[in-house]
Amino acid sequence: MTIKHKMWHEALRIPKVAHLVYTESEAVIYRGVKIEKKEDDIKIYSTEADFYKDMTEEFIQTDGFVKCVKIYLKDKYLNQLDRVESWIQREVNGQKNHKRISNLKKIRENLIIKYNEINT
């Protein structure tokens, strides 16, 4: 059994996932990551954008589907936090729009909560 097949079976055992069955394929979506099985081929995609990004090679380098998803989400949330921090700094140093600053702080707080959920 290959690493991809082990990840597929692990994904099927995760509670509260979206399990999709099509005529030619079967897929599982867990926390924004889609693992899809067509016949004997298994691919892993990020559902972050309209066009899914193939992340199969990145995921195969580590063991376990859930572990890979956690690593992916940590990186994603840290990148988003960096972006929000730079937006806050630009707003504080530039226009000083208090409503926008408080909105950005709420977004930052939500990202920190999501990041902490992943780490626990």
Encoded amino acid at 62, one letter: T
Tens-digit pLDDT profile for residues 15-70: 989 999 998 999 999 999 999 999 888 999 998 888 988 888 877 777 788 888 88
| Segment 92-100 mean pLDDT | 87
pLDDT value for 29: 94
pTM across the whole model: 0.82
On average, the pLDDT of the chain sits at 89
Angle of helix 65-93 relative to helix 98-119, nearest 10 degrees, comes to 160
pLDDT value for 34: 93
CA distance 79 to 74: 9
Please state, for a pLDDT cut of 70, what percent of the chain lies above it: 98
Cα angle value 103/108/114 (rounded, 5°): 130
CA distance 54 to 56: 6
* C-alpha 59 chain-centroid distance: 12
| Segment 70-88 mean pLDDT | 92
**Segments in 1-120 forming alpha helices (H):** 3-13, 56-60, 65-93, 98-119
